[in-house]
Structure 1
Amino acid sequence: MARKLLAAVAAFSTLAVHGALAEPESTDPIKLTTHDWTGQIVTTTIMGEVLKNAGYNVEYVQADYIAQFAGLKTGDLHVAMEIWETTGREAMDEATATGNVVNMGETGMVAIEEWWYPAYMADVCPGLPDWKALNDCAEEFATPETAPLGRYLGGPVTWGGFDDERVEALGMDFEVVHAGTDAALFAELESAYQRKAPIVLWLYTPHWAPSKYEGSFVKFPPYSAECYNDPSVGINPDAAYDCGKPTGPIWKVAWKGVEEKWPGAAKAIKAFKVSNADMGEMVAKVDLQGMSVDDVVAEWMAANKDSWSSWAQ
């Protein structure tokens, strides 16, 4: 099925894209990074297929979310399609400040990442969603491994997010335990939700989980850049990160040489836009329905050819 859809997409793009775009400026591969969560792989695959259909040589490279900036600075890596305002802003700003990495604009998606709890936990922990309520009922979230401390199930360590720093800065009676993978994070949520077992964990959107499960994000002190960078700002005058996570756009970034070496590709990357709703639906098809990323991307491209074909014009 995926091959048939991709063949149809390729046939269309031969007319729609090649008719509007000159031959690729270089046949060297454009290296797009992939990470360890489904949505990012979907985003990157859409971009890669659009570039392939425009005649470019594309290579997908598995890379660490934060550490990838070293390769983007040197040109060993070329494009990263999802830098979340919530977790990647500091690394992105540092990289773009060097002049070797370029911000290619917003993806069209808006990120929320924060601690989240199922609705049934509000019955055993009155005061939620206020973060201070968590300390009053930390033992309700404890496991045999963390007791008497509550357990917060964080994302993989590579995602960043400063949860360990936040727990310490706010004096929370919790231990941060990091899930090994995105899949493991949501498998544990599914298991806990079915059993109505205690859990508070990292949840994010765009994703299918906030729609599938009834629950709420914890409300921490409001985020500010100063809270992250100046210990004197915030509840704890001796520590940074004593506030919630930021929210905002999901960005695209690229090695500075992309615009010079592949200007047509750079134009398409800048034009890329996908909505939260579309991405949540695609991730659900992969994670919940068992479709492959290639199938889902091919289906989306077949249904949205007018949108993506315009990116490379």
Structure 2
Amino acid sequence: MCLARAAATATALVLFGGMALAEVESEDPIKLTLHDWTGQLITTNIMAAVLEEAGYNVELVQADYLAQFAGLETGDLHVAMEIWETTGREAMDAAVAKGGVVNMGETGMLAKEEWWYPLYMKEKCPGLPDWKALNDCAAAFATAETGAKGRYLGGPVTWGGFDEERIAALGLNYEVIHAGTDAAMFAELESAYQRKDPILLWVYAPHWAPQKYEGEWVEFPPYEAACYTDPAWGSNPTATHDCGKPFGPIWKVGWAGLPEKWPGADKAIRAFHIENDAMGAMIAKVDLDGQTVEDVVNEWMDANEATWSAWIAK
């Protein structure tokens, strides 16, 4: 499943454009995890292609976003390229605290994930984006599936996100309906937007959707760490999660044994850096223009040779 671009001898120093590459320390495969959204597939395949250019053996492994930490702790998995501050920070910090996982730094991308609605819905719910307006117009977002409750289209269950907890804590008259896949979620948005049908859903950045469609994120009480752990925090003294989602970096994490076994790969992964605009453009090429992930990754590799070759230089 790796995007193989070049073969290299595992033990010899390789010259790339006159630059000495780090020596490959082990022929064992470095296992990078794949998830179920386009941006993560692009990020991970870029990193795989860069490591392959340095001569490493790379294996891409499909893994659950949160459950993957068990494999990273044991060394059955080695690298996860996207842990979002918005949904994965708690699991990441817990795994790092156990000692089996290391935080390998920021990717350069900044995450925003929150409830989002098309701008045309403000005609039916003029109090938005204030979250307090949601119950006043729950009927505007209701469907036959949810009855009298408003419908919130959440991401796949494996993404986490605490939407059910937020609904309960804030007393919202809404039901979460989880999309089966990332693609299905945005296909439903496209369909609703074209017909100007009601829709309230999970939208995230970096992504093409906030750029393509006119809309707004719901403004919940600002996130603080205590909101997720201390019921006394916030408007509901008996429940946690009575706030919005955190905003912040997208992180890279790895098995704690990786720096010792593959120090050159460890250096390259820590050096990896891509920003939101570049990633959003690549996601759009796949999701909107119909290019394959492989083609988009190869385009990026060809256009950014000076950048990624520095990541693997000795």
TM-score range, shorter chain: over 0.9
2:100 is aligned with 1:104: no
Give SS of 1:32's match: strand
2:199 is aligned with 1:199: yes
For the 8 Å contact 1:220–1:244, the answer to whether it is kept is yes
1:145 deviation in Å? 1.1
2:232 is aligned with 1:215: no
Structure 2 length normalisation: TM-score? 0.95
Q: Which runs of 4+ in 1 moved over 3 A?
A: none
2:286 is aligned with 1:272: no
Tell me, in whole angstroms, the C-alpha distance in 1 between the residues paired with 2:22 and 2:205: 37
Q: Which runs of 5+ in 2 are unaligned?
A: 7-13
The aligned residue for residue 11 of structure 1 is none
2:51 is aligned with 1:55: no
The aligned residue for residue 155 of structure 2 is 155
Tell me, in whole angstroms, the C-alpha distance in 1 between the residues paired with 2:164 and 2:204: 18
Tell me, in whole angstroms, the C-alpha distance in 2 between the residues paired with 1:15 and 1:29: 22
Tell me, in whole angstroms, the C-alpha distance in 1 between the residues paired with 2:114 and 2:307: 31
The aligned residue for residue 242 of structure 2 is 242
For the 8 Å contact 2:50–2:308, the answer to whether it is kept is yes
Number of residue pairs the alignment of both structures matches:
304
The aligned residue for residue 11 of structure 2 is none
1:20 deviation in Å? 2.0
For the 8 Å contact 2:5–2:53, the answer to whether it is kept is no
Q: Which runs of 5+ in 1 are unaligned?
A: 8-13
CA RMSD of aligned residues (A): 1.3
For the 8 Å contact 2:113–2:202, the answer to whether it is kept is yes
Question: Partner amino acid for 1:64?
Answer: D
Give SS of 2:20's match: coil
Question: Partner amino acid for 2:297?
Answer: V
Tell me, in whole angstroms, the C-alpha distance in 2 between the residues paired with 1:18 and 1:130: 57
The aligned residue for residue 137 of structure 1 is 137
Structure 1 length normalisation: TM-score? 0.95
The aligned residue for residue 292 of structure 1 is 292
Question: Partner amino acid for 2:59?
Answer: E
Give SS of 1:120's match: helix
Q: How does 1:180-199 map to 2 (within 5 A)?
A: 180-199=180-199
Question: Partner amino acid for 1:167?
Answer: I
For the 8 Å contact 1:17–1:53, the answer to whether it is kept is no
Question: Partner amino acid for 1:245?
Answer: K
Cα 1:17–1:40 shift into 2, 3 Å = farther
Question: Partner amino acid for 1:120?
Answer: Y
1:15 deviation in Å? 3.8
Give SS of 1:138's match: helix
The alignment-based identity, stated in percent, is 71
Tell me, in whole angstroms, the C-alpha distance in 2 between the residues paired with 1:23 and 1:166: 49
